Structure 1
């Protein structure tokens, strides 16, 4: 006899409808985290009772492809009509009530559940709108009535990245339609398939070996390439980076470099580190040969990363108590190498700020005149050069990040380097030679001229990235006139080696013009009055000049600024943004200026970005964003050819990916994560044992021989115990006078 079937009690339903249907863990929030990540936050809902609803009552969840097309449709819907708070997802199919197997009681329960779900949706949307209105109110009070975006945040939780108003990335805050255009064009395109092939190749390579690669060498010199390659890369550095940022003393370096190759194993490793860091700066800007590519970048990039890691290992061995000129030079060169290779681009700003902390702790921000006889004339001038170089690197990193520069808040009195050639400076010099006039180009002309506008540029960087202050139109015009005066004061040097110096002096000022006018043109909803029209025209001119300067320098086979700067990328994105909305303002002059600048400036910037990607193997995302922005802006002027323009935008990326995939590195090795310097083997000193383990068995000489010194208790040699090395910046430097202070 069959026993009656016992009906089990159903468990309480705690998950949301979608997580329960997919049998996934739910955090029980409203909306839950999984629905937020899946793009269906507005559909997240919970059952009001413990009964599991029939399958026909579950939310109709769209497929993955349908969900991916939602942002595009939502963007198009936004232009037609604002979304109402009563726009809730469809919760059930009305035709279900026509079924004969559903009783009246079931229908009532269905309706009760639907009403409860609708009430939940309304409560969620009202709370969101209330919180948004409160946030806007707080923002309005804090920022003096301005609700325009002030920067751009990427990421979630603690993994967020901030990009301020002067950062090129922050332009996305004013360009919401670009994302919808990119998703529409990229889906099922050739570029998507090629990108997946690149990722597949990288994953296959990473599974064959360890993901963390450690390279062990006995000496940094073991990593050097052939003498001919090293000579070419060193000469490339001297003719590019060293004409602007002064890190080396060229005569001293060249003499040491010639002696460096005369011996197999030089006693000092300082020259090894300096040469390797120079090679890391220039290997990616040399145009000879065609590199191969992997998922991590080009083979040139991989080699540069290895050299940088080796220099980092060498720096970790250097004493912070006894710093040398070579250690500071390697630190500066390493920053240039990071910029030129785009290695860990998100961490570049942190690296620069850490470097500035080291320079300040060394007292580099104080002028060497305060040091008296504790610092020679040569050392003092090298300190000025290294400080001026570090300040320029930090200011540019702050502009690209969109934060106020440290220079604007730091009290420093270090003077500018002298305007004379390196041959006039020697380690035995007792007095500095007089500076040449600004019309005479010297080895230090760039830093000499750049220091003149340093305070103005740093203060303008702080103003444009401030969260409280805003520049009105008159202030913008005043600052723009000052920038133009500085640009006009740049001498027209005729020396062949002055091209990069003249170009960089112009670019670092002209980028501020672009940033100034961008704040006035970014708000597309503002009225096109005289001030905004002037700002748009001025922005177009500054952007076109920026890309033209880069193009002229690149035509001379000098890619140093192309691979280290992003001002042309910022300028081109802003041009695309203005051109995208130019036809909507009913102004013929603005539309014509936007169209002509788009055709010239944006195309030049695309070629520059493509050149950078092909050399470094990094930066493909910026190229794709710029290509899509150019396509979106071009559609506004050629709506009848929209399909062809969209295809052209994605084809630019496809061709680039195909070229990289066709030159795939067959014998690819993952980039080095760490380099270890292996010491030469030592013969341990034999210590005779003693039956009583007396102290005589371990003499102090034994510790000294193996390098185990305890400096804090070395009374005989540590001058810090006697305060012998303490002195004051505002006192004479005679020994008697210092002794009187310390008694």
Structure 2
């Protein structure tokens, strides 16, 4: 009996063209909105069973369509499913949310990163209600919220810029080539899972030869240690020497830290051959392998064994993923988890005021780590488009002092003299970044908090722009007094990154000018800024 019964195929609701291109189909009939937008309406074809109704699943779909129509009254809907449903949310006469004009689909991203404008979003909601059984209350949360300061939202606010970017891509001799329409990158090789017993051997096996480790580590410190000052540099190199001498008291932990450090500089390292590997590169793939092993090792560490070194490794992992564009959609979640754990362990508090004895070395190292955690938090919040929790957090740890790392050691009993901001030191970047972070919190909060966003007026915007201009004018010029070429280059990099932080705020302050009082997209946007 079972042999004669054929297995029923699952009905595919998307059109064949969207399914072939692996894109999210709008599922409108007779032609979906995506095929219309890309100029291929003639290619939009559906499974014939979609409209036949002969299959049980199709019949169920038809019942769903009958139960919900934009023209039907809400009284016709099953009360058990929509007891508290507000019909105005998707009604034809509803007012779009003030956030919806920030969203636009450029048709350049995959379905996982799709954003819509207000009318398209409302139509999409109606379409989804029509095509999905109303009895299925399970909702997928595999999407990602993107607020006003997210890059796609900014582009959506400036329609001329959006059209220009789309046209530029289409006209480009490489990006607009026909083969990219059907190009599918090769799937990445699945990363292995490591047991608790084997992970320590794995991270030891992945470590390159000592000479290559030294060059990669030196490259990290040459490029990044001032911007994310996680280490007391002389102590790191002392640990490095002890590790290779076999005298390190915690070699497994330092092994993991070394892999995390090298993963940050691997893509910058020109001494090793570099080649492309599908949609990645050999350097990035090696960094992915290192980070995967480090995270596996971290996962087996008991919570009670958390130390400042553990936070150093976690900051490095997140920083490396940002640099190497690994798990981009998870950067915000990872930064918030790191922040919550840092707060839980009291990195934001001055332990001396709480009666805890702490050396100069320990306190300064905690300041550095907390500064790196806060820096990654605000960067991730601006990128995702949400306010930062740290803006309302009481933190009295203070900014890193104006010390050079050679001014103090683990045995130092008295604090060295704090150098002024105009004097270039190993902590100069962290000091100035700490001083402008409240301004970044404030403007990010104004842009991404709907209530504060609506309360912004012209005088307030002008005052904020003046604050940014004053911060730019007050930026120390570290390149002049530096006695050596390396110091001058370091000062130039510090200043350039800090100025980028402030110019990013100017970009965010233009968002209100792109909207009228009723939050509809304005025809008189700030064209000069575009």
Task: Please confirm whether the aligned pair reaches a TM-score higher than 0.5, indicating the same fold.
Answer: yes
User: How far, CA to CA, are the matches of 2:92 and 2:387 in structure 1?
Assistant: 24
Counterpart residue number, 1:478:
463
Counterpart residue number, 2:114:
154
User: How far, CA to CA, are the matches of 1:456 and 1:394 in structure 2?
Assistant: 14
49, 64, 70: which one aligns with 2:36: 70
- Which consecutive unaligned segments of at least 5 residues does structure 1 have? 1-22, 28-35, 44-61, 76-119, 540-577, 579-743
Counterpart residue number, 2:352:
369
Higher RCO, Cα 8 Å, sep 6+: 1
For residues 37-56 of structure 1, the aligned pairs below 5 Å read 39=26, 41-43=28-30
User: How far, CA to CA, are the matches of 2:345 and 2:426 in structure 1?
Assistant: 25
Aligned-residue offset at 1:450: 1.4
Instruction: Tell me if the contact between 2:88 and 2:94 (Cα under 8 Å) persists in the aligned partners.
Output: no
Counterpart residue number, 2:51:
none
Deviations 1:614-672 (A, max 9, x none): xxxxxxxxxxxxxxxxxxxxxxxxxxxxxxxxxxxxxxxxxxxxxxxxxxxxxxxxxxx
Counterpart check, 1:291 vs 2:274: yes
SS at match of 1:243: coil
- Which consecutive unaligned segments of at least 5 residues does structure 2 have? 1-8, 14-22, 42-64, 74-86, 106-112, 116-138, 480-486
Aligned-residue offset at 1:159: 2.2
User: How far, CA to CA, are the matches of 2:12 and 2:246 in structure 1?
Assistant: 68
Aligned-residue offset at 1:236: 1.1
Counterpart check, 1:254 vs 2:237: yes
Counterpart residue number, 1:360:
343
For residues 123-272 of structure 1, the aligned pairs below 5 Å read 124=69, 126=71, 134=91, 137=94, 139=96, 148-149=101-102, 154=114, 157-174=140-157, 175=159, 177=163, 191-193=177-179, 196=182, 199=185, 202=186, 211=190, 213-214=192-193, 218=201, 220-263=203-246, 268-272=251-255
User: How far, CA to CA, are the matches of 1:131 and 1:151 in structure 2?
Assistant: 22
Query: Given the two structures, how large is their TM-score scaled by the length of structure 2?
Result: 0.71
Counterpart residue number, 1:516:
509
Query: Given the two structures, how large is their TM-score scaled by the length of structure 1?
Result: 0.52
Aligned-residue offset at 1:499: 2.3
- Note closer, same or farther for the CA distance 1:263–1:398 as it changes in structure 2 (3 Å cut): same
Aligned-residue offset at 1:228: 2.4
- Note closer, same or farther for the CA distance 1:372–1:426 as it changes in structure 2 (3 Å cut): farther
Counterpart check, 1:466 vs 2:449: yes
300, 310, 323: which one aligns with 1:340: 323
Q: CA RMSD in A?
A: 3.9
User: How far, CA to CA, are the matches of 2:273 and 2:522 in structure 1?
Assistant: 48
Aligned length: 429
Deviations 1:202-246 (A, max 9, x none): 26x86xxxx453465525332111222211111111111111111
Larger Rg: 1
Aligned-residue offset at 1:489: 1.0
Aligned-residue offset at 1:303: 0.7
Aligned-residue offset at 1:402: 0.6
User: How far, CA to CA, are the matches of 2:457 and 2:444 in structure 1?
Assistant: 16
Deviations 1:104-163 (A, max 9, x none): xxxxxxxxxxxxxxxx99x956569x85775875556xx5xx974379983794322111
Aligned-residue offset at 1:324: 2.2
Aligned-residue offset at 1:71: 2.0
User: How far, CA to CA, are the matches of 2:270 and 2:515 in structure 1?
Assistant: 37
Counterpart residue number, 2:395:
412
Counterpart check, 1:507 vs 2:500: yes
Counterpart check, 1:447 vs 2:430: yes
Counterpart check, 1:425 vs 2:425: no
Aligned-residue offset at 1:274: 1.5
User: How far, CA to CA, are the matches of 1:72 and 1:127 in structure 2?
Assistant: 32
Instruction: Tell me if the contact between 2:387 and 2:445 (Cα under 8 Å) persists in the aligned partners.
Output: yes
Deviations 1:18-46 (A, max 9, x none): xxxxx97489xxxxxxxx96545244xxx
SS at match of 2:145: strand
Instruction: Tell me if the contact between 1:419 and 1:445 (Cα under 8 Å) persists in the aligned partners.
Output: yes
